[in-house]
Amino acid sequence: MLFASLLKPIVRDGSFHLVDRKGKIHKIGDGSIPTCTVRLWKRKLDYSLVLNPPLTVPEAYMNGTLTIEEGTIYDFLDIAARNLPQLEKTILYRFVRIFDFKNFRQYNPIKIACDNVAHHYDLSGILYELFLDPDRQYSCAYFPDEETDLATAQFLKKRHLAAKLKLAPGQKFLDIGSGWGGLALYLSKTEHVDVTGVTLSAEQHKISTKRPEEERLTDRVRFRLKDYRNEKAQYDRIVSVGMFEHVGKKNYKEFFENIYERLSDDGVMVLHSIGRFNTPHPINPFIRKYIFPGADLPALSEVTKAIQPTKLLITDIEILRSHYAQTLRLWREQFVQNWKEVAEIYDHDFVACGKSTLSSARLVSGTST
């Protein structure tokens, strides 16, 4: 079996049984845990899975032609993540990457940026309530220990950001990618700053604009349906949480030049994003195609390189990798608990897509720069 032949020299940490269409069992790995059993239901998978496993394997799981019979999708992705570096070294994998031209498509004008944001964020508001914390913080939380619940950890992350920003009453504050407005409202209430939030998501904007009215903060909190590149005012403080992943490698220079223009002379900016812990590399093709079109995970070296030509000074770098893994774990648990409710809103393929993505906690890291 071609797919089994590809995997046997690659999987060195963890193990699983691969059952082909004829029922033959292929033992993959060293026999250690984690373990699971994977069954392929179509003959053509033996060839298609070899060509681009990071894309075709989760696609097969999503459409039901690949199933997990013993263990869970979490176990399978855990094994995949442990052995991904070995796959990336193979000649076939490198060859496929060379001709995957979508990896290099970083064209990101405002119209395309709006379409990409709408694909992910303009979904049912009920969906996000089913796996996020009550304030709908959709980024890495901050865990002082493993026993901390998600809502508390997200509150602590907001407090952590406030401390880094060194806020003072009356300061003008810009939140780039303001989401459902929770961070902006928290900072305004606790630090008494004047906040402007900008987002490209119509659904997020619809919800966030109601919240200042409900909390009687319209005098110092407002949200705009607007691309950050069209914002021309100056601010004492700027924060961007979970938005930089959508900027694209070719646009990092433009992003930081814009930040420099928006900041006052003694201004402070905190950039909080998912980051790649290894060398610069294109984003996972499955995530790019189904979850975050146009997105990219920057390596720290790419971020610092883009900042250096500007007059911005890097004064603090913090890595929150373990915190993000814990955040994803709790999101996944809540998503799985509410499986039926999500399926009623969308369909089985959507649920399988979301479940497999949230299971990939070991494939990403949280970086706060």
**Mean pLDDT, each 10-residue run in order, the chain (369 residues):** 90 94 93 92 90 88 92 89 82 61 60 78 81 95 96 98 96 97 97 97 94 96 96 97 92 96 97 88 84 87 95 95 94 89 73 56 39
Domains of the chain, earliest start first: 2-99 (3.30.1050), 110-368 (3.40.50.150)
Distance in angstroms between the alpha carbons of the first and the last residue of the chain: 46
Strands (E), the chain: 15-19, 25-29, 35-40, 66-70, 172-176, 194-199, 221-225, 235-241, 263-275, 318-319, 365-368
Phi, psi angle pair for 27, to nearest 5°: -85, 120
Strands (E), 41-200: 66-70, 172-176, 194-199
In this predicted structure, what is the pLDDT of residue 290? 85
The angle formed by the CA atoms of residues 282, 275 and 181, to the nearest 5 degrees, is 115
What pTM did the predictor assign? 0.86
